[in-house]
Structure 1
Amino acid sequence: MSKANPNSWADLLAEGRLPRFALIMLGVWLNAADSLVTATILPSVGADLGGYAYFSWATAGFFVGAILAGASSGRLSEMFGLKSATALAGVVMAVGCVMSAAAPDVGTFLAGRLVQGLGSGWISGFAMVAIAFLFPERHLARVFAAVTFVWGIATILGPLFGGLVVQLGGWRDVFWLFALQTAVFSAAAPFLLSGEAKATGGPGIPWTQLGVLGLGVAAIAVADLLKIPAVSVGMVVAGLAILLLVVWIDARAKVRLLPLRSGDLTTVCGSGYLAMFALTAASMGFSIYGPPILQQLRGFSPLAAGYAIGAESAAWTIAAMAVAGAAGAWENRWMRIGALCLVASLVILALTMADGHFAWVLLGGSLMGAAFGFSWAFMARQVLAALSDEDRAIGSSAVTAVRQTGAAVGAAISGVAANLVGFSAGLTDASARAAAVWIFVAVIPLALVGVWALFRMTGSARAVSP
Structure 2
Amino acid sequence: MASGVTTGTATWRALLGSRYLGTSTVLAGGVGLYATNEFITISLLPSAVADIGGQRLYAWVTTVYLVASVVAATTVNPIVTRLGPRWAYLNAMAVFAAGTVACSLAPTMEMLLLGRTVQGLGGGVLAGLGYAVINAALPPELWTKASALVSAMWGVGTVVGPAAGGLFAQYGMWRWAFGALVIATAVMAVLVPFSLPARERGGVVPFRIPIGSLLLLGTAALSVSVAGIPRHAVLTAVLLAAGVALAGLFLLIDRRAKVAVLPPSTFGSGPLKWIYLTLGLLMASTMVDMYVPLFGQRLAHLVPVVAGFLGVVLSVGWTVGELSSASLRSVAVTVRVVAVAPLVMAVGLGVAAVSQVDDASRWSVAVWSAALLVTGVGIGMAWPHLSAWAMGSVRDPGEGAAAAAAINTVQLICGAFGAGLAGVVVNMSDRGDATAARWMFGVFAVLAVVGVLASYRAGRGRVPSIHPLRSG
Alignment deviations for residues 287-327 of structure 1 (CA, whole Å, 9 cap, x no partner): x2223433455454555345423322332233334444263
Hey, what's the Cα distance between the residues in 1 that align with 2:48 and 2:234? Answer: 29
**One-letter amino acid of the counterpart of residue 322, structure 2:** A
Q: Within 5 Å, give how 1:31-110 maps onto structure 2.
A: 31-37=34-40, 55=59, 61-76=64-79, 86-101=89-104, 109-110=112-113
Q: Pick one of 223, 237, 244 that aligns with 1:240.
A: 244
Q: Within 5 Å, give how 1:144-163 maps onto structure 2.
A: 145=145, 148-149=148-149, 151-152=151-152, 154-163=153-162
- 1:262 maps onto 2:261 in alignment: no
Equivalent residue number for residue 392 of structure 1 = 400
Equivalent residue number for residue 451 of structure 1 = 452
Hey, what's the Cα distance between the residues in 1 that align with 2:442 and 2:435? Answer: 11
Q: Which runs of 5+ in 2 are unaligned?
A: 1-11, 462-466
Q: What is the DSSP-based 3-state SS (H/G/I as helix, E as strand, rest coil) of the residue aligned with 2:262?
A: coil
- 1:121 maps onto 2:128 in alignment: no
Aligned residues of 1:74 and 1:129 also touching (Cα < 8 A): yes
Hey, what's the Cα distance between the residues in 2 that align with 1:443 and 1:97? Answer: 34
Q: Within 5 Å, give how 1:25-424 maps onto structure 2.
A: 26-37=29-40, 55=59, 61-76=64-79, 86-101=89-104, 109-124=112-127, 145=145, 148-149=148-149, 151-152=151-152, 154-170=153-169, 172-186=175-189, 188=190, 197=199, 204-224=208-228, 227-260=231-264, 262-263=266-267, 267-286=270-289, 288-295=290-297, 297-301=299-303, 303-323=305-325, 324-325=327-328, 327-353=330-356, 355=358, 356=360, 357-390=364-397, 391-420=399-428
Distance of aligned partners of 1:436 and 1:113 in 2 relative to their CA distance in 1, 3 Å threshold: farther
Aligned residues of 1:40 and 1:306 also touching (Cα < 8 A): no
Hey, what's the Cα distance between the residues in 2 that align with 1:85 and 1:329? Answer: 37
**One-letter amino acid of the counterpart of residue 161, structure 1:** V
**One-letter amino acid of the counterpart of residue 93, structure 2:** G
Distance of aligned partners of 1:421 and 1:63 in 2 relative to their CA distance in 1, 3 Å threshold: same
**One-letter amino acid of the counterpart of residue 222, structure 1:** V
**One-letter amino acid of the counterpart of residue 258, structure 1:** L
TM-score normalised by the chain length of structure 2: 0.75
Aligned residues of 2:99 and 2:115 also touching (Cα < 8 A): yes
TM-score normalised by the chain length of structure 1: 0.76
Aligned residues of 1:93 and 1:120 also touching (Cα < 8 A): yes
Hey, what's the Cα distance between the residues in 1 that align with 2:375 and 2:456? Answer: 18
Q: What is the DSSP-based 3-state SS (H/G/I as helix, E as strand, rest coil) of the residue aligned with 2:266?
A: coil
Aligned residues of 1:25 and 1:147 also touching (Cα < 8 A): no
Equivalent residue number for residue 5 of structure 2 = none
Q: What is the DSSP-based 3-state SS (H/G/I as helix, E as strand, rest coil) of the residue aligned with 1:256?
A: coil
Distance of aligned partners of 1:303 and 1:322 in 2 relative to their CA distance in 1, 3 Å threshold: same
Aligned residues of 1:275 and 1:449 also touching (Cα < 8 A): no
Cα offset, 1:385, TM superposition: 4.2
Hey, what's the Cα distance between the residues in 2 that align with 1:448 and 1:407? Answer: 17
Hey, what's the Cα distance between the residues in 2 that align with 1:285 and 1:205? Answer: 33
Aligned residues of 1:278 and 1:450 also touching (Cα < 8 A): yes
Q: What is the DSSP-based 3-state SS (H/G/I as helix, E as strand, rest coil) of the residue aligned with 1:262?
A: helix
Distance of aligned partners of 1:19 and 1:459 in 2 relative to their CA distance in 1, 3 Å threshold: closer
Hey, what's the Cα distance between the residues in 1 that align with 2:132 and 2:341? Answer: 32
Hey, what's the Cα distance between the residues in 2 that align with 1:20 and 1:29? Answer: 14
Aligned residues of 2:284 and 2:417 also touching (Cα < 8 A): yes
Aligned residues of 1:46 and 1:52 also touching (Cα < 8 A): no
**One-letter amino acid of the counterpart of residue 330, structure 2:** A
Cα RMSD (Å): 4.2
Q: Which runs of 5+ in 1 are unaligned?
A: 1-6, 423-429
Cα offset, 1:334, TM superposition: 1.8
Aligned residues of 1:224 and 1:419 also touching (Cα < 8 A): no
Distance of aligned partners of 1:259 and 1:12 in 2 relative to their CA distance in 1, 3 Å threshold: same
Distance of aligned partners of 1:406 and 1:11 in 2 relative to their CA distance in 1, 3 Å threshold: closer
Cα offset, 1:249, TM superposition: 0.8
Distance of aligned partners of 1:346 and 1:100 in 2 relative to their CA distance in 1, 3 Å threshold: farther
Cα offset, 1:91, TM superposition: 3.0
Hey, what's the Cα distance between the residues in 1 that align with 2:61 and 2:303? Answer: 21
**One-letter amino acid of the counterpart of residue 149, structure 2:** F
Hey, what's the Cα distance between the residues in 1 that align with 2:84 and 2:458? Answer: 40
Hey, what's the Cα distance between the residues in 2 that align with 1:259 and 1:210? Answer: 15
Hey, what's the Cα distance between the residues in 1 that align with 2:108 and 2:374? Answer: 37
Cα offset, 1:195, TM superposition: 8.5
Percent identity, aligned pairs only? 26
Cα offset, 1:257, TM superposition: 1.5
Q: What is the DSSP-based 3-state SS (H/G/I as helix, E as strand, rest coil) of the residue aligned with 2:208?
A: coil
Aligned residues of 1:83 and 1:194 also touching (Cα < 8 A): yes
